[in-house]
A = this chain, B = another copy of it.
Amino acid sequence: MDPSNWQTYLVTQESVSAGRSTLEIVEAAIAGGVDVVQLREKDTDTRFRYELGRELRELTAEAGVGLIVNDRVDIAQAIDADGVHVGQSDLPVSVARDLLGPDSIVGCSTGTVDAAEQAEADGADYVGVGTIYGTTSKDVAKHKDGVGPERVADVTDAISIPAVGIGGITAGNAGPVVEAGAVGVAVISAITAADDPRAATAALASTVETTKHVEHGGATE
């Protein structure tokens, strides 16, 4: 499981799924070509996340898709996930690393270059950079107060582990994030709130893929 291959990264949040289950959304995302799924589901109880996580592990393992658990190292271990993703208010990266050992993936949300450098120094395998377009999952149209794709460029210049962009990203605006150096993009709403989550995932994957090819073409010419 190598985060540098994570072009499309779904973060789950049933509350924005328009009544569809997270399992249904993840199934569609897998069909659409998602590379990794993060079990997040903030504001649900531990047992719910554990039970859901077991089901997601089955689905993702079958499809060869990564599974990361937000915040909870214990749930990650209990469901045999590939690793955890911690934010600045969660367990420190170094503690998550100690608990999980060297073979699990530890990712970290970082909004600044300093935080990204710290995450790398503490043993993170990848960072999430954002909020790129300053939105929340509940209001995808509000693209302000984001750090912008330029922050991705600053971060990827400073660290050697992969970065994914997160926050307000859609198939329509993912290009600049990848051009700035992100290996991929993480989304909640762009997939979860879409009328057709499978098509939305495929569109997102296509944007990332196409941008990388153009980038690569440009760099080698």
Contacts and interface: CB of A to CB of B under 8 A. Distances in A.
Interface of A: 45-48, 50, 71-75, 77-78, 88-92, 95-96, 98-99
B99 A50 contact: no
Contact of A78 (B45, B47, B88, B95): B95
Copies in the complex: 2
Contact of A74 (B45, B47, B50, B91): B91
Nearest to A73: B74
B90 A78 contact: no
A45 B77 CA distance: 20
Contacts of A45: 89-90
A46 to B, nearest CB: 4
A107 to B, nearest CB: 15
18 contacts: A45-B89, A46-B71, A46-B90, A46-B91, A47-B88, A47-B89, A47-B91, A47-B92, A50-B91, A50-B92, A50-B95, A74-B74, A74-B91, A74-B99, A77-B99, A78-B91, A78-B95, A78-B98
